[in-house]
């Protein structure tokens, strides 16, 4: 048998929060993936909204590129508010 395609499942746990990845499942199409996601991942009120996306459509960063992607951020301390020394007299900034 040919495997059904793999879908990644994202759930918004409650109103106002972002969708978060919870796992994956196989389904023949997106409609079935949605129904299965409901049964597999939300049996106890885990969410108010579900996204499913076929896994092959996701482009992920390579762990090997971690330094090239994220290292440059760590030496830019001037991007953070704590970098700036301001007079104590100044409240609320």
Partner 1 sequence: MTNTLSLEDRFQQRIDNEEKIEAKDWMPDGYRKTLIRQISQHAHSEIVGMLPEGNWITRAPSLKRKLALLAKVQDEAGHGLYLYSAAETLGAGRDELLHQLHTGKAKYSSIFNYPTLTWADIGAVGWLVDGAAIMNQVALCRASYGPYARAMVRICKEESFHQRQGYDILLTMMKGTDAQKKMVQDAVNRWWWPSLMMFGPSDIDSPNSAESMKWKIKRLSNDELRQRFVDMSVPQAEILGVTFPDPELKYNEVTGHYQFGVIDWEEFWRVVNGNGPCNEERLAARVQAHEEGAWVRDAALAYAEKQKQRNSSQVA
What are the residues binding partner 1 (CB under 8 A)? 1-4, 6, 22-26, 28-29, 32, 39-41, 43-44, 60, 62-63
- Distance CA(20)–CA(9), nearest Å, equals 8
Q: How far is the CB of 77 from partner 1 (least distance, A)?
A: 24
List strands edge to edge, sheet with 6-12: 19-26, 6-12, 49-54
Of residues 26 and 49, the one with the C-beta less far from partner 1: 26
> Please, which residues have CB within 8 angstroms of residue 15's CB and are 6 or more apart in sequence?
48
- Distance CA(22)–CA(16), nearest Å, equals 18
Q: How far is the CB of 61 from partner 1 (least distance, A)?
A: 9
Q: How far is the CB of 29 from partner 1 (least distance, A)?
A: 4
Of residues 3 and 71, the one with the C-beta less far from partner 1: 3
């Amino acid at each position: 048998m040919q495997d059904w395609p793999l879908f990644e499942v994202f759930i918004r746990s409650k109103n106002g929060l972002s969708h978060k990845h919870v796992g994956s499942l196989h389904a023949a199409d997106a409609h079935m993936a949605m129904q299965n996601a409901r049964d597999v991942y939300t049996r106890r009120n885990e969410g108010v909204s579900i996204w499913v996306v076929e896994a092959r459509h996701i482009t992920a960063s390579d762990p090997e590129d971690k330094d090239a992607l994220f290292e440059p951020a760590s030496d830019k301390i001037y991007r953070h508010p704590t970098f700036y020394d301001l007079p104590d007299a100044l409240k609320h900034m």
